[in-house]
């Protein structure tokens, strides 16, 4: 019996493999997507976790933004004890880099400075251009090492001089590969290495400046974790952070597992799309094989033998599809440009064994599941139809076995989704989403056939018959709507989200936004800086005080946080905030509760004995439950500051030309006594001369002051958005290609019916042109409906993401969505026409003779 099943399956497949080519292409695309996406993430994880130690550059790093006080240093050395074998110090800060007058391109730009000592780094090394070996001597004595793009931008070469914080440094090498990650936050420019001793001689590490001080330690492997814990406990009240390469490894591992599972779900969605194709092919295949099934039953084959024959065929085809998918994934991996991989710290992608195994397994499983329901129909084929043709159309009602199979298939698909997502919730969400989507598409297709029915009375022949074709027996309307609609939904959805994000960013750099933010202006420099930059400004620059502080306690009605540890545990106000003090509310702020003070405090304390008053942003009220009347305690550069909350404001962040501050303090003796710098907001006059001139003037007179080019920051964010969009669009396009393939397959599957119809039409006098018009209109209508469905879904998706994920104002993108609908209609009509070419050119007599 088994022998018969195997031989029969082989013979059947041998005869119809060309027709089934489409089947394994569907499987292959999905499998390739899973294998490729998983492989990339697995490789990134392996590389990053393997090199976690070189990414940190040490076993353990202790860092602060406050500078090392004698007290902290002493306690650190006590805690280090014998566990720490060696230490070295690093300081990271930002500054403006310029070329000496008349040299290079004359550009002034912000850079990330990293001051290092001779032992840096403990692990890994800096790779320099031209095979030059890194040694600390290269930076010693005002030497500098920079990245190649910086040199190009500044028009510099090795050996040239550049000005950092107003001091001349000599470029002694070009860093081509730098594994050691920065301490945190956003990078404001290219990195430049200098000697820490030289950096200390500049004005950049003054009190209150934006520098991160790090102590890198080499520690015995067994001591890393206990020491990390010990240090964290010992310094929990200080602004000191402790991290080890093991933490980084854990964090990376966790994040990448999430990424891997998320991308696998994307792959799974593509496989499901392929599965719809498989379902469609199998359904038509069964219809075409009904007579063969009846013959087999007539010559003694049982229903289970026949079913096994076709299941085996599906298994082989799915395996072939899986292997083709593997080949596609290997080719795809080789085709990924190295520049795209660079940002993931890998140079090339190879397909991993486990990803290949998983991809093929999912492909086979999904194919079997999708093929099973239509295949069960073979059980119901009666051999009597060979004697009486009318038996073939016996009741198409589904029996309990078919329903059971459908339910089991859905449950099994959900299990595959859970497996791929690595999470029950995510897996259920995705399969639930797909189910809802499928149900919606199913209903819409029914509705479509019904709504379009009146058009069948149109005087236009092509339109009339196109509409009738949508509802013809064995039509593929639902399949096409589902496949193309889903592809369209992904592509348009992501594009709509991107349009919203880009619009938001454009608003940010619009009329009201400053061009530059000046940071680290010392109190005694405020007048000078304002004077130096005013000639280049469109309006008088706004300069305001900036305190860097942490919340270390709240004594409130709804919330009681006794110390920094309690604040950390609450988890709502753990970051370091930029605070300002002023005596009036700004135009981009609206008072929601309480009273904003008038004028500065004249006494050292408020009437109720606190240092000052504070106005909080609505976010703190909503999320951390701080209210008017509560008392907040801040740690400003190591000094305590207490303030009673007297008002709640809402800041319109879009119009943050006056700066957006979560906490605003009431000016007064206590506030003005704590260390603070100033921050300036500036709109320069139009034209590149003003931009360059202003930066040069600033660098010359105030080398410690940094100017952050907002447009550049926005550009970097935009690049990130573009990259993410590109990635997701690629997925959407793959889905659309899958949809087009399914469409072609669906058209091909109804070819037999169409050939007959076309032959009759031709006999009755229809020209090829008329037939082509019918096909075009039919697929045009179908494409437009799939497009409308996808566009509607895309609109909802972009609204949800804008509202709940990005928390930005949602704007419909009508031009994009309408263009998407039209383009989909066009693509579907053309694909339909191409796939029907055979039907249009075939001689009618051949069909009618049954050749």
291 binds another protein (CB under 8 A): yes
Question: Is residue 647 within 8 Å of 628, Cβ to Cβ?
Answer: yes
Token digits of residue 776: 């075009």
Nearest approach in angstroms of CB 845 to another protein is 17
Of 21, 241, 259, 384, the one binding another protein by CB under 8 A: 384
Answer yes or no: are the C-beta atoms of 306 and 383 closer than 8 Å: no
Q: How far apart are CA 18 and CA 794, in angstroms?
A: 36
Which of 18, 70, 299, 607 contacts another protein by CB under 8 A?
299
- Residue 633: closest CA among 545, 559, 547, 564: 564
From residue 121 to residue 150, the character string flagging contacts with another protein as x (rule: CB under 8 A) and all else as - is ------------------------------
- Which parts of 170-209 interact with another protein (CB under 8 A)? none
On whether the CB atoms of residues 683 and 539 are closer than 8 A, the answer is: yes
Q: Spell out the residues 6+ positions from residue 270 whose beta carbon is closer than 8 angstroms to its own.
A: 29, 30, 33, 34, 731, 734, 735, 738
382 binds another protein (CB under 8 A): yes
Judge contact between 627 and 634, C-beta under 8 A: no
Is residue 850 part of the contact set for another protein (CB under 8 A)? no
305 scored as a contact of another protein (CB under 8 A): yes
Contact between 241 and another protein by CB under 8 A: the answer reads no
- For another protein (CB under 8 A), the number of binding residues is 30
Check residue 803 for interaction with another protein (CB under 8 A).
no
Q: Which stretch binds another protein (CB under 8 A): 376-384, 421-429, 471-479, 589-597?
A: 376-384
- Contact call for residues 188 and 713 (beta carbons, < 8 A): yes
- Residue 388 lies near another protein (rule: CB under 8 A): yes
Closest to another protein by CB, 313 vs 646, is: 313
Rank residues 297 and 696 by Cβ distance to another protein and give the closer one. Answer: 297
Q: What's the 3-state SS for 637-698?
A: CCEEEEEEEEEEEEECHHHHHHCCCCEEECCCHHHHHCCCEEEEEECECCCHHHHHHHHHHH
- Could you tell me the smallest distance in angstroms from the CB atom of residue 308 to another protein? 12
Q: What is the 3-state secondary structure (H, E, C) of 442-473?
A: HHHHHHHHHHCHHHHHCCCHHHHHHHHHHCCC
Helix 526-533 to helix 688-701 angle, to the nearest 10 degrees?
150
Closer by beta carbon to another protein, 10 or else 134:
10
* The binder of another protein chosen from 85, 334, 340, 387 (CB under 8 A): 387
Q: Would residue 237 be called left, alpha or beta, if left means φ above 0 and alpha means ψ between -120 and 50 degrees? A: alpha
Least distance from C-beta 305 to another protein, angstroms?
7
Does 386 participate in binding another protein (rule CB under 8 A)?
yes
Contact at 8 Å (CB) between 417 and 262? Answer: no
In whole angstroms, give the CA distance from residue 182 to residue 190. Answer: 12
399 is an interface residue for another protein by CB under 8 A = no
Nearer to another protein, 386 or 797 (CB): 386
- Site track 13-32 with another protein (rule: CB under 8 A), x = hit: -xxx----------------
Shortest reach from residue 10's CB to another protein, in Å = 10
Residue 301 within binding range of another protein, rule CB under 8 A: yes
The residue (of 135 and 394) whose beta carbon lies closer to another protein is 394
Q: Measured from the CB of residue 401, what is the shortest distance to another protein in angstroms?
A: 14
Q: What does the per-residue mask of binding to another protein show for 246-285, with x meaning CB under 8 A?
A: ----------------------------------------
Q: For another protein, which is the closer residue by CB, 4 or 68? A: 4
Query: In this complex, which beta carbon is closest to another protein, that of residue 105 or of residue 302?
Result: 302
Do 53 and 245 form a contact (C-beta atoms < 8 A)? Answer: yes
Contacts of 761 (CB under 8 A, 6+ apart): 465, 770, 771
b/e per residue, 211-247, with b = 16+ CB within 10 A?
Answer: bbbbbbbebeeebbeebbebbeebbeebbbbbbbbbb
Pick from 67, 124, 206, 383: which binds another protein (CB under 8 A)?
383
Q: Is 237 in the site for another protein (CB under 8 A)?
A: no
Q: Is position 392 an interface residue for another protein (rule: CB under 8 A)?
A: no
Q: Is 743 in the site for another protein (CB under 8 A)?
A: no
Q: Does 297 bind another protein (CB under 8 A)?
A: yes
Cα Rg of the chain, angstroms = 34
Cα–chain center distance at 513 = 26
Binding residues (CB under 8 A) for another protein: these are 1, 3-4, 7-8, 11-12, 14-16, 291-292, 294-305, 382-384, 386-388
């Amino acid at each position: 019996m088994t022998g018969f099943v195997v031989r029969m399956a082989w013979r059947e497949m041998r005869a119809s493999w060309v027709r089934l080519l489409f089947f394994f292409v569907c499987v292959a695309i999905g499998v390739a997507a899973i294998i490729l996406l998983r492989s990339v993430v697995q490789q990134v994880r392996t590389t990053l976790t393997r090199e976690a130690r070189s990414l940190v550059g040490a076993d353990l790093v202790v860092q602060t933004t406050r500078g090392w006080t004698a007290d902290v240093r002493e306690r650190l050395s006590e805690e280090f004890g014998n566990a720490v074998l060696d230490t070295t110090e690093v300081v990271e800060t930002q500054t403006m880099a310029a070329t000496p007058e008349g040299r290079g391109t004359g550009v002034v730009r912000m850079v990330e400075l990293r001051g290092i000592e001779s032992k840096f780094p403990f692990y890994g090394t800096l790779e320099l251009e031209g095979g030059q070996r890194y040694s600390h001597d290269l930076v010693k004595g005002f030497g500098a090492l920079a990245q190649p793009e910086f040199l190009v931008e500044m028009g510099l070469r090795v050996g040239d001089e550049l000005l950092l914080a107003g001091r001349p440094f000599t470029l002694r090498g070009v860093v081509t590969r730098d594994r050691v990650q920065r301490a945190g936050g956003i990078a404001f420019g290219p990195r430049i290495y200098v000697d820490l001793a030289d950096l200390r001689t500049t004005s950049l590490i003054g009190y209150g400046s934006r520098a991160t001080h790090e102590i890198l330690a080499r520690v015995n492997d067994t001591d890393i974790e206990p020491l990390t814990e010990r240090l964290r406990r010992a310094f929990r009240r200080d602004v000191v952070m402790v991290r080890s390469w093991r933490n980084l490894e854990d964090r990376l591992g966790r994040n990448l597992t999430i990424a891997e599972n998320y991308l696998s779900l994307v792959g799974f969605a593509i496989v499901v799309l392929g599965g719809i194709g498989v379902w469609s092919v199998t359904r038509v295949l069964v219809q075409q094989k009904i007579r063969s099934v009846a013959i087999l039953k007539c010559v003694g084959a049982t229903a289970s033998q026949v079913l096994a024959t076709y299941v085996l065929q599906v298994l082989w085809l799915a395996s072939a599809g899986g292997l083709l998918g593997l080949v596609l994934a290997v080719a795809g991996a080789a085709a990924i440009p190295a520049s795209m991989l660079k940002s993931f710290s890998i140079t090339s992608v190879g397909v991993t064994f486990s990803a290949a195994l998983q991809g093929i397994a999912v492909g086979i499983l999904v194919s079997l599941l999708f093929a099973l329901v239509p295949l069960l129909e073979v059980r119901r084929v009666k051999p009597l139809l060979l004697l009486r043709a009318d038996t073939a159309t016996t009741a198409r009602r589904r029996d309990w076995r078919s329903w059971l199979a459908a339910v089991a298939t859905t449950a099994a698909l959900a299990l595959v989704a859970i497996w791929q997502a690595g999470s029950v919730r995510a897996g259920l969400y995705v399969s639930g989403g797909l189910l809802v989507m499928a149900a919606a598409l199913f209903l819409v297709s029914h509705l479509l056939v019904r709504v379009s029915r009146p058009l069948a009375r149109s005087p236009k022949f092509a339109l009339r018959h196109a509409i009738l074709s949508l509802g013809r027996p064995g039509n593929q309307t639902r399949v096409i709507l589902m496949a193309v609609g889903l592809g369209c939904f992904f592509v348009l959805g992501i594009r709509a989200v991107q349009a919203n994000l880009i619009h938001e960013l454009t608003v940010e750099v619009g009329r009201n936004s400053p061009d530059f933010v000046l940071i680290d202006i010392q109190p005694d420099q405020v007048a000078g800086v304002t004077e130096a930059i005013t000639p280049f400004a469109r309006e008088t620059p706004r300069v305001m005080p900036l305190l860097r502080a942490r919340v270390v306690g709240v004594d409130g009605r709804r919330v009681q946080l006794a110390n920094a540890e309690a604040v950390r545990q609450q988890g709502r106000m753990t970051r370091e905030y930029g605070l300002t003090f002023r005596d009036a509310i700004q135009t981009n702020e609206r008072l929601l509760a309480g009273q904003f003070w008038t004028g500065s405090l004249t006494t050292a304390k408020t009437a109720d004995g606190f240092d000052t008053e504070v106005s909080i942003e609505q976010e703190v009220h909503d999320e951390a439950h701080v209210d008017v009347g509560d008392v907040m305690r801040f740690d400003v550069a190591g000094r305590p500051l207490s303030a009673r909350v007297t008002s709640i404001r809402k800041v319109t962040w879009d119009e943050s030309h006056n700066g957006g501050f979560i906490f605003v303090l009431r000016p007064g003796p206590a506030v003005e006594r704590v260390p603070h710098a100033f921050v300036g907001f500036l709109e320069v006059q139009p034209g590149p001369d003003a931009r360059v001139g202003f930066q040069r003037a600033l660098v010359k007179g105030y080398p410690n002051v940094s100017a952050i080019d907002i447009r550049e920051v926005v550009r970097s964010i935009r690049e990130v958005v573009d990259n993410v969009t590109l990635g997701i669009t690629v997925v959407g396009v793959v889905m659309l290609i899958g949809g087009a393939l399914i469409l072609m397959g669906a058209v091909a599957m109804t070819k037999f019916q169409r050939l007959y119809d076309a032959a009759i039409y031709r006999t009755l006098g229809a020209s090829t042109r008329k037939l082509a018009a019918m096909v075009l209109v039919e697929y045009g209508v179908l494409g437009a409906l799939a497009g409308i469905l996808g566009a509607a879904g895309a609109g909802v998706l972009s609204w949800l993401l804008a509202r709940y994920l990005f928390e930005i104002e949602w704007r419909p993108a009508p031009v994009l969505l309408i263009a998407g609908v039209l383009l989909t209609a066009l693509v579907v009509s053309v694909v339909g026409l191409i796939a029907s070419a055979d039907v249009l050119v075939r001689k009618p007599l051949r069909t009618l003779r049954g050749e």
